Structure 1
């Protein structure tokens, strides 16, 4: 499967991630988690587990976004689920939109994509809504969005709710999360 390179704003470049990048990836993930949840929820082993996902090919399923100085500004991976983190210092510059485009392009290559978005990140939820995503499933703390109903993403696969999660018809909440479709 050919690699897809995200179209990034000026001053940024991308490259695939490797297991050597796990410590560099985990550092901004902790910043994003602390901002979204008030505490760090993962450790470097959780990032390493992403690389161990069956079928994940780092060269085509991961991307690191580096700023002019070579520091990690954002990262994403896609493999049935997707995860995107943009360092708070680099938000509002189009990186989230570029990485959403990248995840949708990967979905068009055959991956069904689910994106989890914390309620504490209203800009990310607004970005997904602007692309036609709607809440699907709620759970405390985040939104998840399968790439299936966006006009730019032809995948029609439906995400199965994990055990203990309940679909909701009420996407507007002050706390909690929803899967976005």
Structure 2
């Protein structure tokens, strides 16, 4: 099982490809744009290797990614870990019976949904997202998986905005890892 990474380390080369956009989507917010990173084949591959490294050898059935950028990271990471991919969607995107959780963002609120029965009870799931800010998205995702009786083996984010304190909302003893800390 990976250890928690609380200490700061030198950022990897690909980190320079993450662009900061001030005052987006609202004044006072600094948006972390990963599009330049995704567009760089070598940087994207190196970042995926770094995301996968702490989880290699951990039994994982599914990687759950939150809409929308968590989809990109989670779907790309899942086959590297020998796992399937589970999308956690925003409302109105999934057919059939869904289970829903609301959550707060640093600049508003939103909801996540999962199809009822999409996860077998006891399935070992790794939660993945791009940014850990206030922790609302990951907490909602965790509640959804808990309601499906999944076992969350951990959480993985590309970057953590430490000043917003989102780590405190992580509801598991399982590790929550971040590659970059701001």
Instruction: Bin the TM-score by the shorter chain.
Output: 0.3 to 0.5
TM-score, length-scaled by structure 2: 0.32
Q: Quick check: which one's strand share is greater?
A: 2
TM-score, length-scaled by structure 1: 0.33
